[in-house]
Amino acid sequence: MSNQPSRAHEFFRKRLVALKRKPQMIALCVLVIAFIYYSFNLSPIANTTALVNGPQMGLSEFCVMLFSALGLVCFLNAFPHRKKVNLPMLVLTFLMLALLIYCDVYYGGRITAALTRADSPISPTGKNAFVAVAQNVIRVHMILVIIGAALLALLPVYSKLLRKINTNIDIAGNSGMTAIDISGEDV
């Protein structure tokens, strides 16, 4: 029994087999991480919206949450279990991701405008340190969404590469077996 794989090796082999079957889970995980990261950092973003009070900043913040949730739903519906890819849902997913990036760029632009305006610019230090935190959250969220969109767009490429990985288990007892006769003549 020395040829049996260890528990850790078997755990990673099973995860790799699952990724070979559903490679879209990589992009989904990145998009879920982006959604969770933005959701957990809503306080500095809401405080920045209240302080800066730029045009449509609250709407942009709301749209990011809405399009994140709808984008995940469209993503899950784009890849139904044991069926072909649902192209309209895939197009909607990319549309939601593009809208997310636009809302992040718009919100970041409003923050930059408030920090660099000529009359009474906002200083992102001291009691207004949450403005710098919100600006970083927006940048990281936008980068995560871009990475998720790129992974989704490159899905056909890396799914073929994942399928080439050998996940078979070599069993020592089966190497000496001969061909099984199924003709039924020896009955």
What string of pLDDT tens digits covers the 187 residues of the chain?
A: 455 667 887 888 788 888 888 889 999 999 999 999 999 999 999 999 999 988 899 999 999 999 999 999 999 999 998 889 999 999 999 999 999 999 999 999 999 999 998 888 888 888 989 999 999 999 999 999 999 999 999 999 988 887 777 777 766 665 556 667 677 775 5
| Helix (H), strand (E), coil (C) string for the chain | CCCCCCHHHHHHHHHHHHHHHCCCHHHHHHHHHHHHHHHHCHHHHHHHHHHHCCCCHHHHHHHHHHHHHHHHHHHHHHCCCCCCCCHHHHHHHHHHHHHHHHHHHHHHHHHHHHHHCCCCCCCCCHHHHHHHHHHHHHHHHHHHHHHHHHHHHCHHHHHHHHHCCCCCCCCHHHCCCCCCCCCCCCC
Q: What is the pLDDT of residue 69?
A: 95
Tell whether 31 is covered by a domain: yes
Tell whether 183 is covered by a domain: no
Q: What is the pLDDT of residue 1?
A: 45
Amino acid at 39: S
pTM score: 0.82
Domain that holds residue 44: 25-162
Tell whether 167 is covered by a domain: no
Tell whether 16 is covered by a domain: no
Distance separating alpha carbons of residues 169 and 156, to the nearest angstrom: 26
Phi, psi of 43 (to 5 degrees): -60, -50
Q: What is the pLDDT of residue 99?
A: 96
Tell whether 72 is covered by a domain: yes
Name the domain count of the chain.
1
Tell whether 122 is covered by a domain: yes
CB atoms within 10 A of CB 144: 20
Tell whether 35 is covered by a domain: yes
Tell whether 175 is covered by a domain: no
Axis crossing angle, helix 87-116 with helix 129-153, rounded to the nearest 10: 150
